[in-house]
Amino acid sequence: MSSRFHQKYFLRCGHCKSTQRYAKGYRPIPNPILFDSDAHCRSYHRERQESAGMVRILPTCRCNKCLRIHSDWKVIDFQQFLDIKLAMSAEEKDKLLWPSAEERCREVTAVTPRPC
């Protein structure tokens, strides 16, 4: 039986090159009382494909840095994340940090004036 624990991936935005975490929660197995072997096999193989680097899956989510919803993501594993992080200089790391809530509010109000 496959592992159904909480799974975490790292996604790299194709627009602003920031990295953020993508997490999937627990998914229950099909009902063991009304056992359907075909559904169980499909569930097992789909979960194996997803946990093997999210094969054939195009995640669509919102980037917390550039505030865009898109599908231009590259899935990276934890070691690649560490390699990217260690290769960056301190200035590059500061540039890729998420803005604070106050800075983000100022950016949004500059475009559309609303109270935060």
pLDDT in tens, 79-115: 888 888 888 888 887 776 766 667 767 766 665 555 5
Does this model's pTM top 0.85? My answer is no
Q: What percent of the chain has pLDDT over 70?
A: 58
Query: Which residues does 50 contact at the CB level (< 8 Å), separation at least 6?
Result: 7, 24, 57
φ/ψ (deg, to 5) at 28:
-70, 155
